[in-house]
Amino acid sequence: MSMKRVGVIGGGQLAWMMADAAKKLGVELVVQTPSPNDPAVPISAKDNVFAAIDDANATAELANRSDVITFENEFVDIEALSKLASQGVCFRPRLEALAPLLDKYHQRCYLRDLGLPVPRFVAIEQDWNTTAEVIFARQIGFPAVLKARRHGYDGQGTFIIKEIESLKQKLELDSTECVVNQSSFLLEEFIPFERELAVIAARSVSGEVCTFPVVETQQEEQVCRRAIAPAYVSSQVAVEIDKIARTLLNSLDAVGVFGIELFLTPDGKVLVNEVAPRTHNSGHFSIDACETSQFEQHLRAVCGMQLGNTTMICPGAVMVNLLGYEISESDYITKRQQIEQIPQAHVHWYGKTESRPGRKLGHVTVLLDTQSRDQAIVIARNIESIWYPHQAC
């Protein structure tokens, strides 16, 4: 069956960036999103569903208006959606491919059980102080990384813990502050990585898997600031990452695009940090720098088409996120125009009505004529010096 109308749960920039690909493929988008101001609302059908992402009744409505449902946001209510699936609603990826990934602890267990390399980890339950887990926490050693098991993104809910006392303090503090899932944490070893890497992989309905070039990502305060494509890693590392992606997507029997974040250790080992069952920030470079973008690839997969060619059309590229640094309603047009003056720069502005510190407002991809990590970094610094106030170049 050809899928002409794709229902997307979530109306943020990831849905917005599907628009060009949808047009190209002759597909119509309809979104479920809480606010009419969200980026994807203007580019989708008039009969969008305005409701919270985890509102399964609204998703039932979305299903009435579309041939297949996909996700730009995974913070959904899987149990409630399962009822729709059993009534015949087509989710791609299927819910069973999402379920093991939504809780960071379950995700780690799933990857480990598949034989994929992950940091050593342990779940911290409410009564952790009296259980064997505290012994394990000591074995993991310090610094360690404490992560909220659910609903963390852009480093929210991720804390680097230097010693057992601050771990105790953090957990006690959180239980009195009543944060979401107060008792559900994952503690894992801190990886003194040499680089962080990421790969976007897609799997089609027929089971074909296709990866994009591996990128290097650079985070500041746990938030992605830049991606350099391709990553300057050995072919052995690139092959290993490709294998990890294939193993994972095949095991999940996934359909669609998945983003996989990894650590590369100083001794050349690759560890999986996190898997996102959707298009991912680390793949934005593909819009301007690859034959097929991750967004087109995703729509191809969920619509039952063949996957596209993921080769880069230039020797290299650098993607820089434009993050909010103040509370404002400005559209930052002057800065955007200044950045557009950079040769081979492509500015993508998400059209959000409000800026807040750390919020992803847009991104820039600059195509490079040579493969040079140093040049990519110089260009990224230049963009950041235009964008952020008071930042030394």
Q: Which residues bind ligand ADP (CB under 6 A)?
A: 119, 145, 147, 152-156, 158, 188, 190-191, 196, 219, 222, 261, 273-274
CB contact burial 211-229 (16+ within 10 A = b; e otherwise): bbbbbbbeeeebbbebbbb
User: What minimum distance in Å lies between the beta carbon of 76 and ligand ADP?
Assistant: 16
Residue in this structure with the two tokens 């992803």, named with its chain if needed: 360
**What is the C-alpha separation between 345 and 343, in angstroms, rounded?**
5
For residue 92, what is the DSSP state?
A: S
Of 220 and 291, which CB lies nearer to ligand ADP in the complex structure? 220
Of 51 and 99, which CB lies nearer to ligand ADP in the complex structure? 99
Of 62 and 98, which CB lies nearer to ligand ADP in the complex structure? 98
Of 190 and 325, which CB lies nearer to ligand ADP in the complex structure? 190
User: What minimum distance in Å lies between the beta carbon of 96 and ligand ADP?
Assistant: 22
* Straight-line distance from the first to the last Cα atom of the chain, in angstroms, rounded to the nearest whole number: 53
Residue 48's nearest CA partner among 37, 36, 56, 60 is 36
Backbone angles phi, psi at 301, to 5 degrees: -65, -50
**What is the C-alpha separation between 390 and 393, in angstroms, rounded?**
9
User: What minimum distance in Å lies between the beta carbon of 145 and ligand ADP?
Assistant: 4
Helices (H) and strands (E) in the chain, counts: 13, 17
Of 240 and 274, which CB lies nearer to ligand ADP in the complex structure? 274
User: What minimum distance in Å lies between the beta carbon of 68 and ligand ADP?
Assistant: 27
Of 260 and 361, which CB lies nearer to ligand ADP in the complex structure? 260
Residue 93's nearest CA partner among 250, 243, 260, 318 is 250
> Which residues does 143 contact at the CB level (< 8 Å), separation at least 6?
160, 161, 162, 190
- Other residues' Cβ atoms within 10 Å of the Cβ of residue 234: 10
User: What minimum distance in Å lies between the beta carbon of 12 and ligand ADP?
Assistant: 15
User: What minimum distance in Å lies between the beta carbon of 274 and ligand ADP?
Assistant: 4
Of 7 and 100, which CB lies nearer to ligand ADP in the complex structure? 100
Q: Does an H or E element contain 245, and which?
A: helix 235-252
Question: Helix (H, G, I), strand (E, B), or coil: what is residue 330?
Answer: coil
User: What minimum distance in Å lies between the beta carbon of 121 and ligand ADP?
Assistant: 8
